[in-house]
Each structure stands twice: as structure tokens, then as C-alpha cells.
Amino acid sequence: MRTVNSSLTFGLTLVLLLAVACSSAPDPEMVATPTSTISPTQEPIPTAVIEPAELTVEDFLAEIERGIEELRGIDTPPAVEHNFVDQDGMRARLAEELNDPETLEQIAHESTLFKLLGVIRQDADLGAIYDSLFGSQVLGLYDPEKEEFFVLGDDQSGAESLDVEAQLTYAHEYVHRLQDAKFDLEVIKELASGDDMALAISALVEGDATSVQTQYMLANYDFAQLSELLESALASQDELPESPYFLQQTLEFAYTEGAAFISIILQLGKFAAVDAVFIDPPKSTEQIIHPEKYFDKEDPIEIVIPDYAMGGGWSVQAENVFGEFFLRTWLEALGSENATAAAAGWGGDTYVVYENASSGETGLAVTIAWDTSDDSTEFFKALTGAMGTDDNYSAVGDGIPGVLESWKTPGGYMVISRWASDDVTDRIAIGIGSSVGVAQKLQSAGAHEFMTTVEITIPD
């Protein structure tokens, strides 16, 4: 499935093109532990093992389609076009996406953000990283805008040309065709109010497809075939290009945690319950990570950093939402051993990337709302604690430990502060800029709400 989000996508350029221009490369862990994506109460529907011998490719794909329709419980949609391509053809198809002017602009914004945060090297070429990841991992895709499949294979050599990996890839992609026919994936994508919700929707879409793909795999392939598939997947992992931890985790989230989310939904009402989630999709990655927050409708707190908060000479380059998954993964990339717990009290956030017209320098202002004072304290300590154990980071000045601190980082200088009030939930404000003074100004922009509208309490 193909989606390009017009907003800054903190690695979602890759995910929204892969998780909706789906890379279905089997993850070794996913293949080795398929029960993680199947509810104990949602047994695979037994279907006859498909024998490709003497079938045309089109007939063989039709057999896979009928099996997927039976598992997912969605009737046969109108037929769509199949485009058979080799690996070079698939790379060329994806290169069209990466070279789209809108996508190139997104990558430029992401590169600025990632370097300010220090999650990629300061000299990294993000476009080249994405190109390398795309070329090595994408095995097939469904484009809902054009209603076309791109299948890695040869329609002239008979069905035997499609190995098990290619068959399962097509099974995964066909789930997206069913989703699109029933719910209109383009419309669902447009519901996203920001990048975090966009990633949550991708997790819904990919988690559903991964669950069905896994059930189909268990029902239609024997132990020898699955062992061969696992061996191939492990070999493929060894050949993957190195990429920053943050990008790797972002790529995997929609599939792994999306499948875990769907497994909970299946226990409640099988695929009818999944259909209901498509009607009312999750609002945040927090709701994917903690499904109970989806059921309780614990929606993100909306926060605004004014465009004018940095004053004259500065303009907004990009603004969006990080979300719990992003903050957790940022802490993990910094080496925090407490990242999962520290990010779990997230209540909402916003960030703005500013650019100075005269100097060309960029800076980042962030505000994060927390459920409780303890949650804000835990995140503050996790972030500064991780930086304190990394030789690439160093504290600057004395500040007020746990309340107001300054740090030298690979992306410049960071000022982080913690605010409490009887009027609103606790906040953490972060500024990252080219100097302590600029970072302090950016931090003040992040704390704009507190500094102008509420009674301020200095946390203990």
C-alpha cells in the first residue's frame, strides 16, 4: 500500500512508503514466533495447501486471494492490475517515490530534525539511507491510489516462479487490497492529525495484514517450507545494510507492535472487532502500545507552540507530534535502560523546527505533557541520565538538577526544563540550538504556555 504524508514524518517517509508501500520482508522473529500475532481464541481457518504446479501465475494469485478473503472475512473486491517486476524494477518503482519533490522535501525536514536530536550522524545522507533500505527490503506493494499491485516475480514462467516468500508477500499485500475495498485506505490516512497518529494508523493497517498473513502461513505451509523460509529470512537479515537504530525501530513498529495490538482486538471479537477499529482508528502510538488506552479513549492532549514564539527573524520550517513511540525510541537510541517506563506516562506533545532567515541556522522547540508529576520526573531523569553516560554529551553549567539543565549534544546545545502547575498537567520543555543562548530561547518557546498563561510552580 502506498501513502505519502504531506507533513514531516520523523522516519515515516520510510514507514509510510513501506508500511503502506508495504515491505513484507518476513522478519525472522515474526516467522519464528507466529503465535505473537494470533490470539489464542482466533485459530487459523484450515484451508487446502496450494500446489502451484501447472497453474498460471494469475490463477495461483487468485487461489491465494480466495484463501485470504476467507481468513479475513471480506468478500472478493473488483479485480485490479498486477504488474510483475524483477528486483531492479521494484527498486525503480520505489525510486520514483523517493525522488518525488514532496518526498524529497520531507526527507530534508527529517534530516534536520534527526540531526538536532542526534539520532543520525551529523554528516549522514538520510536520502541515501532510505534508498539503501528500500532497495534491500521491499518485496511487493499495493498502491491504493492507483489500485495496482507490484509483484516481485515473472508472469511468463508459471506459478512455480513464485517462491514461498513471494507468495506470503502477496498474501500480505492482498489484505491491503481488501482493507482498501472495504474502508478506503486513502480516506483513513487523511484522518491522521499528525505523524504520531499516522504511525498508529499504519500499525493498525500493517498489524491486520501481518496477522492474516501469519494465519495463512500456518494453514498453508508445512514445517519444511517454513524452516526454509526462516533460513532465507535469517540470511536476508545478514545482508541488510546498516542503518541507525532509530530508523530500524521506526520501520519495524507498524508490523511488530501493530500485530500485537491486533492480537488483543482479535481476542475481543475476531475480525469483526478489527473492522470496528478501522471505523474508529487509534489516535496515537500510545494507544497501540497500551491497547487499554484505546478502549478508554485516552486521547492525546493538544498543545500549541506559537509560530511567533521565537520572535523576529525566525520562521517555522516544520511542526508536528512526536508521540510515545518516538520518545521511547529516542531514549533507547541514547542508551537509556529505562526508556519504556520513562516514555509510558506520555500525555501529548508538540514540536516546532524553526529556521533563522539571516543565519540559516535551525533549532527545535518541544513541549511534552505528562500524566503525572512522577511521569515527567522519570522522563527527565531518563533523558539526562542517558546523556550523562554518553561521551558525545556533556553537561554545561550547574542549572537546577532535575528541573533546568543545559547540555552539549551532537546536534548543538540542549536546554531542558520541567514545569508544574495546578492548572494543567506537568510539562517538559526542550530547546536545541547552535548555542546555549539560542537553546534557552527555544526552550522558552516550548514553555510558552506556562510562561504566559498559568501559575508556575518550581518542581521539587
Per mean pLDDT, which range of 31-40, 396-405, 437-446 is the poorest? 31-40
- Are 397 and 425 spatial neighbours (Cβ–Cβ below 8 Å)? no
- Are 169 and 152 spatial neighbours (Cβ–Cβ below 8 Å)? yes
Residues whose CB is less than 8 angstroms from the CB of residue 231 and which lie 6 or more positions away in sequence, other chains included = none
Q: Please return the burial class of 408, using the count of CB atoms within 10 Å of its CB with bins 0-12, 13-18 and 19+.
A: middle
- The span from the first CA to the last CA of the chain, in angstroms, equals 49
Per-residue pLDDT at 238 exceeds 80: no
In the sheet that holds 394-400, the strands lie side by side as 314-320, 346-356, 362-370, 427-433, 412-419, 404-409, 394-400
Distance in angstroms (rounded) separating the CA atoms of residues 326 and 331: 9
Residue-by-residue DSSP string for 362-382 = EEEEEEEEESSHHHHHHHHHH
Q: 39-57, pLDDT tens digit by residue?
A: 334 444 444 455 555 677 7
Q: 203-226, pLDDT tens digit by residue?
A: 999 999 999 999 999 998 888 887
Angle of helix 164-183 versus helix 223-239 axis, rounded to 10 = 90
**Residue ranges covered by each domain of the chain:** 12-295, 307-453
- Confidence bin at 319 (pLDDT 50/70/90): very high
Average pLDDT, integer, range 116-136:
87
Q: 346-369, pLDDT tens digit by residue?
A: 999 999 999 998 999 999 999 999
Average pLDDT, integer, range 188-195:
94
Tell me which DSSP letter residue 36 carries. Answer: G
SS (H, E, C) 284-325: CHHHHHCHHHHHCCCCCCCCCCCHHHHCCCEEEEEEECCCHH
- Confidence bin at 241 (pLDDT 50/70/90): low
Residues whose CB is less than 8 angstroms from the CB of residue 122 and which lie 6 or more positions away in sequence, other chains included = 115, 410, 411
Average pLDDT, integer, range 386-405:
92
Per-residue pLDDT at 28 exceeds 70: no
Q: Which residue has the higher pLDDT, 40 or 151?
A: 151
Per-residue pLDDT at 29 exceeds 90: no
Give me the pLDDT at residue 15, please: 35
Report which secondary-structure segment, H or E, holds 350: strand 346-356
Per mean pLDDT, which range of 231-235, 283-287, 313-317, 442-446 is the poorest? 231-235
- Are 137 and 80 spatial neighbours (Cβ–Cβ below 8 Å)? no
Task: Report the SS3 class of residue 135.
Answer: helix
- The cell for 394 is 556533556
Q: Which amino acid is at 326?
A: F
Distance in angstroms (rounded) separating the CA atoms of residues 248 and 245: 5
